[in-house]
Amino acid sequence: MPDNKAEKTQKYKVEIEQKCFEITKDEDLGNYFNIFSAKTDIEGQDGGVVSALLVKGFEEGLFNAAIVVRRGDGYSAEVVVAENPSEVLVARGTKYLKVNVTKKLRELINQGKKRIAVVCTPCEAKAARKIQQTLKNDCEITIIGLFCFEAFNCAKIKEEVKSLLGVDLDKAQKTQVRQGKFTVFVDGKEYSCKVNDLNAAAEKVCRYCGDFTAELADVSVGSVGSKKGYSTVIVRSKIGEKLIKNLNVVKEMADREEIVRLSKFKQKRAEKCLATINKTK
């Protein structure tokens, strides 16, 4: 039997992969069929790929509800259910804040929804798969995973950005994390600092997660490995292939090595933090 948290987590992950995926696992990035860089004609975060996938899914009847994160008042985030392409577009953009999407997933399942899409970070993707494994009905869940190194605490990130950049995040039109920089867009101006300078605002629990690319998603999307204005797309399952098929995008090669580098860095950080816990037992 597994005798520590890391081994239990890995055992459960393998069980899910065996049930949800039909291909051989890649040692560095998890299961996948294809990886590329893409840009759509939807104006959004790094090429608008996530929004384009959701819009296509609704138009083709692949799902009738999508759980997304929408910006709330000021710099905050809230989980909402989109039921058509227009509602998807309202929720465009990455928020970089920790939110719980699986509670909303349970609600939709209890309401009898049969085809549900979920846009979420790696930790939430794992939780969604756990829920999926308990279902005894014909509910189909499509998971679009977001690359995530760590999420920020809402109150703390506001404090840190105000201190470092002199900017009120509640007035920001957009925020972006790219190439190690956190950038805030306010009234046509850009304000940036190193992501490492915001460590005090990062959620502590994120240090124990070793999944950067959302390996349990059907399709994973993120900016790492692509040039500005493009997203890296990792297609991982048959459901993911169906969703991405004939999507109207401009494709380029993704920098796989850059994605692997950051993935390994996050994995090693998690292993170190988990080892520390085990030593204290």
CATH number at residue 142: 3.40.640
Same domain, 182 and 274: no
Distance of CA 157 to the CA centre of its chain: 19
Distance of CA 93 to the CA centre of its chain: 12
Same domain, 74 and 190: no
Long-range contacts for 174-181 (Cβ within 8 Å, ≥24 apart)?
Answer: 174/93, 175/75, 175/94, 175/95, 175/96, 176/45, 176/94, 177/94, 177/96, 177/149, 177/223, 178/46, 178/223, 178/228
Same domain, 88 and 222: yes
**pLDDT recorded at residue 144:** 97
Same domain, 59 and 138: yes
Same domain, 163 and 228: no
**pLDDT recorded at residue 202:** 92
Residue whose tokens read 């979920």: 118
Q: Note if the pTM is more than 0.85.
A: yes
Same domain, 136 and 171: no
Q: Determine contact, residues 152/140, Cβ cutoff 8 Å.
A: no
Same domain, 156 and 213: no
Q: Determine contact, residues 152/97, Cβ cutoff 8 Å.
A: yes
Same domain, 176 and 217: no
Low-confidence ranges of the chain (pLDDT < 50): 1-3
Distance of CA 61 to the CA centre of its chain: 23
d(CA 273, CA 281): 13
The two tokens of residue 225 are 């490995």
Structural domain span for residue 32: 5-21+28-147+209-280
Same domain, 58 and 127: yes
Same domain, 195 and 217: no
